[in-house]
Amino acid sequence: MKRLSRIPVRIQLTVWYVLLLGLTLSGFTSYIYLRLENKLMIKVDTSLQIGAAQALLYLDPGNRLAFQNSPNQRSLAMRLSQLGFAARIITPEGQVVNGFGRYQDVPIWVPSSGGYKTLVSDGIDWRVISQPIIREGRTIGWLQMTQSLEVLEDIASDLPTEIFLHLPFILLSAGLGGLFLSNRALRPIRNITQTAQSITASDLTQRISYQGADDEVGELAVTFDQMLDRLQSSFEREQRFTSDAAHELRTPLAIIKGRISLMLSRSRTRVEYEKTLQDLDQEVDRLIRLSNGLLLLARLDRGQLPITFTTVDLSNLLEILVEQVQPLAAARQIKLVS
């Protein structure tokens, strides 16, 4: 099974197609052979019945088991013999008393009632019909008309023989055709593979853009494009989130850097150092809150937390912001009013 899984899908499809076609042809050939054999056997039985009915007309009218010695009987016997028929008259004990054609090649058969039977002699099948010869209400013998089945069996076997002789060429053609069709059927899959291979983190704009039939392959291509749309949207949100996070972190870090640089520019009193450290402590708290907020946004984006909207008064926040950026504004000679 593992070795089979390593075989390309198009080869597997072609092999299965050829196997199914071979089995179908074999089954169909067997069916045709049996049907043809049955049809030919029915025709043989009908011909034997007609021949036996004609031969019965030329039996001796008395109690003697023999054919009439007349021109019409001899003409009938010659015509039937040329067509491959043979006839014989046998006693109830199975003794042959008269006949024409190759009747001596046919095994003896003493029937209990009229009907058909297939006899075998020296590898040759003979189809035989038996008709009772009735005189004064009793059966005094049997008229048997027979024909060899050699020709009919050859005819019946010629068709499957021809099919099986040409079967390798049929399967080869089917294999090439199946390989061609499987390649065409799997072409959208190859397009999907090539598109997936061309996608990078910096370019998520590639799409299959399938234009074929609305089938399983089409559904796969559309689903793949939809997946790429969601992936691109998610990646763009991540990039915006990273950019926003960097921007939010830059402001408090710049404030901290500015206050530290300002304190180091000259000697300060103890009170000034304490005031600066308090401001730095507030900025660190702000960084912590900002980090927690970014983490919360990330969890919200993943759908791990429900979203609740409330009204917020931003006046205090604005006053704090003005106070925080006042040193930077003063360094740039900008006046802030809250």
What is the spatial distance between Cα 307 and Cα 302, in angstroms, rounded to a whole number? 12
pLDDT band at 112 (very low <50, low <70, confident <90, very high): confident
Whether pLDDT at 36 is above 70: yes
Q: How far apart are the first and last CA of the chain?
A: 76
User: Using one digit for the tens of pLDDT, what is the confidence trace for 46-84?
Assistant: 999 999 999 888 888 877 888 888 888 889 889 998 888
Pairing mode of beta strands 115-121, 124-135: antiparallel
What is the spatial distance between Cα 243 and Cα 202, in angstroms, rounded to a whole number? 16
- Average of per-residue pLDDT across 149-158: 79
What type of residue sits at position 300? L
User: Using one digit for the tens of pLDDT, what is the confidence trace for 121-144?
Assistant: 888 889 999 999 888 888 889 999
Domain ranges within the chain, ordered by starting residue: 2-172, 186-290
In terms of C-beta density within 10 A (0-12 exposed, 13-18 middle, 19 or more buried), how is residue 106 classed?
buried
Task: Tell me what the pLDDT averaged over the chain comes to.
Answer: 82
Q: pTM of the prediction?
A: 0.52
User: Using one digit for the tens of pLDDT, what is the confidence trace for 212-256?
Assistant: 777 777 788 788 888 888 888 878 777 787 777 777 777 778 888
What is the spatial distance between Cα 307 and Cα 313, in angstroms, rounded to a whole number? 19
What type of residue sits at position 142? W
User: Using one digit for the tens of pLDDT, what is the confidence trace for 178-224?
Assistant: 888 888 877 777 877 777 777 766 677 777 777 777 777 778 878 88
Task: Please give the radius of gyration of the chain, using alpha carbons only, rounded to the nearest integer.
Answer: 52
Whether pLDDT at 171 is above 80: yes
CATH architecture group of domain 2-172: 2-Layer Sandwich (3.30)
Q: 167 vs 18, 171, 242, 286, CA distance in Å?
A: 11, 6, 67, 84
